[in-house]
Chains A and B, each alone.
Chain A
Amino acid sequence: MFKLEARPTPSSLMGALSPLLAVVLTVLCGAILFIAMGKDPLAGLAVFFVEPIKDLQGWSELGVKIAPLLLISVGLAICYRANVYNIGAEGQLVVGAISGGAAGLYLDDGSGGAGIIALVLLAGMAGGMAWAAITAFLRDRFNASEILVSLMLVYIAQLLLSYLVYGVLKDPEGFNFPQSKMLSDKLLLPILIPETRLHFGIVLAGAAAVAGWLYLSRSISGFRLQVGGMAPHAARYAGFSSRKSLWTSMLICGALAGLAGVGEVIGPLGQLTPSISPGYGFAAIIVAFVGRLHPIGVVFASFIMALFYIGGELAQSRLGMPSAITGVFQGMLLFALLACDVLIHYKLRLDLGGRK
Chain B
Amino acid sequence: MTTRLELHSISKRYPSVIANDGINLTVEAGQIHAVLGENGAGKSTLMKIIYGAVKPDSGRVLWNGKEVHIANPAVARELGIAMVFQHFSLFDTLTVAENIALGLPSGTRLDELERRIEATARQYGLELEPQRHVHTLSVGECQRVEIVRALLAKPQLLILDEPTSVLTPAAVEKLFETLRQLAAEGCSILYISHKLDEIRSLCHTCTVVRAGKNTGVCDPTQETAASLSHMMIGAAPPAITHVERAPGEKMLSVKNLCLSKSHPFAVELKDICFDLHAGEIVGLAGVSGNGQQELLAALSGEDARAAAASIMMQQTPAGRLPPGRRRAIGLGFVPEERLGRGAVPEMSLSDNVLLTLQTKQTIRHGFVRARVLVERAAQIIERFKVKASGPAALARSLSGGNLQKYIVGREVMRGPTVLVVAQPTWGVDVGAAAQIRAELVALRDAGCALLVISEELEELFEISDRMHVIAKGRVSPSIKTGDASVALIGQWMSGLWTQDASEGRHVQA
Contacts and interface: CB of A to CB of B under 8 A. Distances in A.
A227 B355 contact: yes
Nearest to B356: A238
Max chain A Cβ within 10 angstroms of own Cβ: one of B301, B351, B358, B363:
B358
B359 to A, nearest CB: 11
A239 B342 contact: no
A137 interface: no
Interface size class of A (residues with CB under 8 A): 10 to 19
A8 B13 CA distance: 12
A155 to B, nearest CB: 31
Main secondary structure of the interface of B (DSSP, over half): loop
A63 B251 CA distance: 62
B337 interface: yes
B372 to A, nearest CB: 13
A234 B366 contact: no
Interface stretch (A97-105, A216-224, A322-330): A216-224
Interface string B327-360: 1000001010100111111110001001110100
B322 interface: yes
A207 interface: no
B342 A234 contact: yes
A233 interface: yes
B323 interface: yes
Nearest to A355: B71
B345 to A, nearest CB: 7
Contacts of A219: 366-368
A139 to B, nearest CB: 19
A237 B355 contact: yes
A219 B364 CA distance: 9
Nearest to B358: A220
B302 interface: yes
Interface in A17-69: none
B368 A239 contact: no
A237 B335 contact: yes
A218 B323 CA distance: 23
Contacts of A239: 301, 322-325, 327
Interface residues of B, number: 31
Max chain A Cβ within 10 angstroms of own Cβ: one of B343, B354, B367, B397:
B367
Main secondary structure of the interface of A (DSSP, over half): helix
B229 interface: no
A351 to B, nearest CB: 11
A237 B345 contact: no
Contact of A231 (B300, B324, B340, B366): B340
B300 A237 contact: yes
B346 A230 contact: yes
A231 B342 CA distance: 10
B341 A233 contact: yes
A318 interface: no
Nearest to B54: A8
Contacts of A223: 351, 354, 368
Interface in A229-261: 230-231, 233-234, 236-239, 241
Given A223-B351, A230-B344, A230-B347, A237 B323 contact: yes
A135 B9 CA distance: 60
Nearest to A238: B355
Given A219-B366, A237-B355, A231 B301 contact: no
A223 B323 CA distance: 17
Nearest to A214: B367
Contacts of B324: 238-239
Contact of A234 (B322, B344, B370): B344
Contacts of B354: 220, 223
A296 B159 CA distance: 48
A6 to B, nearest CB: 9
A8 B343 CA distance: 20
Given A230-B344, A231-B340, A237 B366 contact: no
Contacts, number: 61
A234 B343 contact: yes
B302 A236 contact: yes
Contacts of B397: 9
A252 to B, nearest CB: 14
A226 to B, nearest CB: 8
B302 A237 contact: yes
A220 B351 CA distance: 11
B300 to A, nearest CB: 7
A236 B370 CA distance: 22
A307 to B, nearest CB: 32
Contacts of A233: 337, 340-341
Contacts of A221: 366
B314 to A, nearest CB: 20
Contact of B340 (A8, A9, A234, A241): A234
Contacts of A237: 300, 302, 323, 333, 335, 341-342, 355
Contacts of B342: 234, 237
Nearest to B324: A239
A233 B337 CA distance: 9
Contacts of B351: 223
A221 B367 CA distance: 8
A238 B397 CA distance: 21
A241 B302 CA distance: 10
Max chain B Cβ within 10 angstroms of own Cβ: one of A230, A233, A241:
A233
Max chain B Cβ within 10 angstroms of own Cβ: one of A219, A231, A237:
A237
B322 to A, nearest CB: 5
A231 B300 CA distance: 17
B341 A231 contact: yes
Nearest to A241: B322
Contacts of B347: 227, 230
A8 B366 CA distance: 37
Contacts of B368: 218-220, 223
Nearest to B14: A8
B177 to A, nearest CB: 36
A227 B351 CA distance: 10
Nearest to A218: B367
A71 to B, nearest CB: 22
Nearest to B301: A239
B323 A231 contact: no
A35 B421 CA distance: 66
Max chain A Cβ within 10 angstroms of own Cβ: one of B327, B363, B366:
B366
A220 B358 CA distance: 9
A221 B366 CA distance: 7
A237 B356 CA distance: 8
24 contacts: A8-B14, A218-B367, A218-B368, A219-B367, A219-B368, A220-B354, A220-B366, A220-B367, A230-B346, A231-B340, A231-B345, A231-B346, A233-B337, A233-B341, A234-B340, A234-B341, A234-B342, A234-B343, A234-B344, A237-B302, A237-B333, A237-B335, A238-B323, A239-B323
Interface of B: 14, 300-302, 322-325, 327, 333, 335, 337, 340-347, 351, 354-356, 358, 363, 366-368, 370, 397
Which 3 residue pairs are nearest across A and B when measured between Cβ atoms? A239-B323, A239-B324, A238-B355
Interface of A: 8-9, 218-221, 223, 227, 230-231, 233-234, 236-239, 241
Given A220-B366, A231-B346, 8 more contacts: A8-B14, A218-B370, A220-B367, A233-B337, A234-B340, A234-B344, A237-B300, A239-B324
